[in-house]
Amino acid sequence: MQVPEAATSADTAKVVSIWSRTAQRDAGRAPSGAPEGDVAPARPAGSRVRTIAVTSGKGGVGKTCITVNLAVAFARRGRRVLLIDADLGLANVDTILGLHPRATLRQVLAGECAVGDVLLDGPAGIKIVPAASGFEEMARLGGKQIGELLTQFDRLAQSFDVALIDTGAGISPAVLCFGLAADEKLIVATPEPTALTDAYAMMKIFANRYGERSFDVVVNMARSRDDAARTFAHLSRVTERFLHLTPRYCGYLPNDREVPEAIRRQQAVIELAPRAPASLALEALAVQLEAQPQAREDGAGSFLRKPVAETVR
């Protein structure tokens, strides 16, 4: 596979703008390349897929673990769930669940198959789009490649109730593109100062460069409810002062020894230890996210509903 030129911030605007027009044109079209019966039937007319990007500024905050368990929690509530591993160069959703993909997004970009062909069956009936790990070219995708992926994600997501995007860490153009493509952004932070600093930096770029004003925050690895509340209050004060926005607090996930045990066993902690404190907190997080009004109400049937090019500074 030829190594593409790395995407730039200008690519970010161009990619999402072009993809937005394509998504609107293709709304309602059947998922490309999905085998018969492999994808849940389309939602009833008038309903919308809910898209949530789970992201963070800093790596190592538990983002992928949260995304996987949220997917299971939504599925256990009767939702049809698509989990997209968008950590393109260091993917590990399949690893954390002990799955062995026959093909990944690397083969999709090479033209060997469509994104529907690489779907994996996960716990509780969730469907997973696996990415590749350890391939440098996947971490340096250009704007054209990212746009191709977004278009295929859009078509595939129309057959689901919830699409969760596990982004990479940091603020690369690919991470920003996937974050901008989603209706909602769930920022994962921890009480560590470095994690808070990077979570703020992530929101700053989304807000100042792209005009995004709505963010959900969950505090992971908190020692207690008070520890989590203090962590969020500190982050919120900074965003209110410098970004003039107040993120929405979605609660916290406690330090729980069952979480690393589940990772070692390559299972979702919600399934391995459903009554563990972390599992109960993850279930509560899914309930809270589902109860919130969807961030965008301007139309139905498209994974991306706001032309990002209009907001680029």
Q: Does a structural domain hold residue 298?
A: no
3-state helix, strand, coil in the chain (%, to 5): 45, 15, 40
We report the CATH number of the domain holding residue 205 as 3.40.50.300
Number of domains in the chain: 1
The DSSP annotation for 273-311 comes to -TTSHHHHHHHHHHHHHHHSPPS--S-SS-S--S-GGGG
Closest to 199 measured CA to CA, from 264, 207, 5: 207
Side-chain-facing half-sphere of 225: CA atoms under 13 Å: 2
What does the block give as tokens for 219? Answer: 């505090």
> Is residue 37, in this structure, part of any structural domain at all?
no
Predicted local confidence at residue 142, as pLDDT: 75
Residue 198 lies in domain = 9-29+48-289
**Is 261 part of any domain?**
yes
pLDDT of residue 147: 86
Does residue 301 lie in a domain region?
Answer: no
The token duo for 145 is 């490649």
pLDDT at 11: 52
What pLDDT is recorded for position 34?
Answer: 37
**Per-residue pLDDT tens listing for the chain (313 residues):** 333 344 455 555 554 544 444 444 444 444 333 333 344 444 444 468 999 999 998 999 999 999 999 999 999 999 999 999 998 878 899 999 999 999 999 899 888 999 999 999 999 999 999 998 767 677 677 778 888 889 999 999 999 999 999 999 888 888 999 999 999 999 999 999 999 999 999 999 999 999 999 999 999 999 999 999 999 999 999 999 999 999 999 999 999 999 999 999 999 999 999 999 999 999 999 999 999 887 655 444 444 444 433 333 3
pLDDT for residue 13: 53
154 lies in some domain: yes
Is residue 126 assigned to a domain? yes
Report the pLDDT value the prediction gives residue 231, as an integer from 0 to 100.
98
What pLDDT does 72 receive? 98
CA separation, residue 24 to residues 20, 134, 165, 270 (Å): 6, 34, 20, 36
CA 35 from chain center: how many Å? 24
Inside any domain, residue 131: yes
3-state DSSP assignment of residue 239: helix
Residue 68 domain-assigned (yes or no): yes
Residue 145 has a pLDDT of: 84
- pTM confidence score: 0.83
